[in-house]
Amino acid sequence: SAVISQKPSRDICQRGTSLTIQCQVDSQVTMMFWYRQQPGQSLTLIATANQGSEATYESGFVIDKFPISRPNLTFSTLTVSNMSPEDSSIYLCSVETGGRGEQFFGPGTRLTVL
Amino acid sequence: GNSVTQMEGPVTLSEEAFLTINCTYTATGYPSLFWYVQYPGEGLQLLLKATKADDKGSNKGFEATYRKETTSFHLEKGSVQVSDSAVYFCALRKGGGADGLTFGKGTHLIIQP
């Protein structure tokens, strides 16, 4: 498995602002993903963060709202743009290691939008 | 598209009881199947997995068998402990590609002493 850290661990933001969440892994990984877990709900995949190219977004998520960067094989950022209270969620990054399809998750960033 | 359906919770059991949490899926091809667990105040952890039909994943006394004929991956444990209290998520990853996971809604398990 990999050790994954996220910053910030939590934040309270005002409507209309943006927040950038960082995900750092202690080893090089090919696959990194971003998920959202809305209150009382399951996890929903936002996008796959591709190193050296644009992220691949799932249906219902767009780059203007959730821009993602992946500058190298150990780091990615997710920005939540022009936030509204509906964006209040836990945002998690995950990585796939070992070539066996197993994904490991970071601790999450708890975002509250007022 | 892909989907995962889990039994609704919360599920409340007494310590040492037998546990089954049902999970069924819809997917094209041959997905890999996973159970994740989220203990109170902690992050999401991989519990077990199975990658092909009839595979049995096991860990920490938990087991689940990949049943293609019934498109199911039910989680079982013979004797639960209070420390097993957590939220359990069934998930799938479609086969053949480098894809993210599709999760079920999660089942909150409460074990009473």
How far apart CA A11 and CA A14 sit, in angstroms, is 10
Best to test chain B binding among A4, A43, A92, A94 (most B CBs inside 10 Å): A43
Query: Does A33 contact chain B (CB < 8 Å)?
Result: yes
Of the candidates B105, B85, B87, B80, which has an alpha carbon nearest to the alpha carbon of residue B24?
Answer: B105
Residue A4 pLDDT: 95
Residue A100, pLDDT > 80, answer no
pLDDT at B19: 97
pLDDT of residue A30: 86
pLDDT given for residue A73 in this prediction:
92
Q: How many CB atoms lie within 10 A of CB B4?
A: 23
The arithmetic mean of pLDDT across residues B72-82, rounded, is 97
Strand A10-13 with A75-80, pairing: unpaired
* Band of residue B76 on the pLDDT scale cut at 50, 70, 90: very high
Task: Tell me what pLDDT residue A114 has.
Answer: 96
Give the 3-state secondary structure of residue A85.
helix
Tens digits of residue pLDDT in A4-29? 999 999 999 999 999 999 999 999 98
For residue B34 the two structure tokens come to: 């996973």
Q: What angle do CA A5, A70, A6 make, to 5 degrees?
A: 15
Share of chain B above pLDDT 70, in %: 96
Write out chain A residues lying below 8 Å of B99, CB-based: 48
What's the pLDDT at A40?
81
Q: In what order do the strands lie in the sheet with B19-21?
A: B19-21, B75-77, B62-65, B56-59
Mean predicted lDDT score pLDDT of chain B: 93
Could you tell me the pLDDT band of residue B75, with boundaries at 50, 70 and 90?
Answer: very high
**Is the previous residue joined to A8 through a cis bond, with omega within 30 degrees of 0?**
yes
Q: In what order do the strands lie in the sheet with A75-80?
A: A4-7, A19-25, A75-80, A68-72
Tokens of B88: 């359990």
Which of residues 38 through 97 in chain B touch A, CB cutoff 8 A? 43-46, 49, 51, 89, 93
Q: What is the mean pLDDT of residues B42-61?
A: 94
* Min Cα–Cα distance to chain A from B105, Å: 5
The pLDDT score that the predictor gives to residue B97 is 58
CB B11 within 8 A of CB B112: no
pLDDT digits (tens, 9 = 90+) for B14-40: 999 999 999 999 998 889 999 999 999
pLDDT recorded at residue B17: 97
Please write the tens of the pLDDT for every residue from A36-90: 999 888 899 999 998 888 899 999 999 999 999 999 999 999 999 999 999 999 9
Give whole-number Cα distances, B41 to A12, A55, A108, B62, B76, in Å: 19, 30, 11, 21, 23
Residue type, B109: L
